[in-house]
C-alpha cells in the first residue's frame, strides 16, 4: 500500500458509496492497513443530505464506525484566509472548504472523487480511492 493510506480522511462521496454498499468501496475499505477517519463536516454533510429518517439512521450507523476528526482553530483560519477565495473562482462549497482545511491541518490525504473542487487548493493532498 502507498503511504497515503496511513492517514486518510474520507470525503462525503466515498461515504455515500459505503452507505450504498458499493462493492468497490467496501473492498477498498477492507484492504486498508489503517482505518480512515471522517471530518465532522463530512458527517454534517452526510446527515444533512438525508432524504428521510431511514436514510438519516443508516448514515448515523455508518458514522459510528469511524473516528470523527474536528477542526483546530488554525484549520478554520486557513479555510477563511487561504481557501474561501476558491468558492468564487472554482465553485468550491463552504463545507468542502472546511473538509479540506481539516485534512491539511491534521496532515491527512483526502480520499475523494471530487478532484475538480479540491484539485486547486494549496497544500491539500487528494487521492481517488478506487475505481467506480
- Report the alpha-carbon distance of residue 76 to residue 123 in Å, rounded: 15
Report domain extents, the chain.
Answer: 3-121
CA nearest neighbour of 69 among 127, 6, 7, 16: 7
pLDDT, tens digit only, all 132 positions of the chain: 344 456 999 999 999 999 999 999 999 999 999 999 999 999 999 999 999 999 999 999 999 999 999 999 999 999 999 888 888 888 888 999 999 999 999 999 999 999 887 888 999 999 999 999
3-121, CATH topology level: Rossmann fold (3.40.50)
Amino acid at each position: 500500500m502507498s503511504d497515503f493510506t496511513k492517514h486518510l480522511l474520507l470525503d462525503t462521496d466515498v461515504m455515500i458509496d459505503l452507505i450504498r454498499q458499493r462493492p468497490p468501496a467496501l473492498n477498498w475499505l477492507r484492504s486498508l492497513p489503517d482505518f480512515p477517519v471522517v471530518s465532522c463536516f463530512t458527517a454534517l454533510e452526510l446527515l444533512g443530505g438525508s432524504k428521510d429518517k431511514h436514510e438519516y439512521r443508516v448514515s448515523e450507523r455508518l458514522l459510528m464506525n469511524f473516528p470523527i476528526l474536528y477542526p483546530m482553530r488554525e484549520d478554520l483560519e486557513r479555510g477563511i484566509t487561504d481557501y474561501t477565495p476558491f468558492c468564487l473562482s472554482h465553485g468550491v462549497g463552504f463545507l468542502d472548504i472546511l473538509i479540506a482545511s481539516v485534512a491539511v491541518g491534521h496532515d491527512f490525504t483526502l480520499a475523494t472523487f471530487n478532484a475538480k473542487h479540491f484539485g486547486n487548493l494549496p497544500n491539500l493532498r487528494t487521492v481517488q480511492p478506487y475505481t467506480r
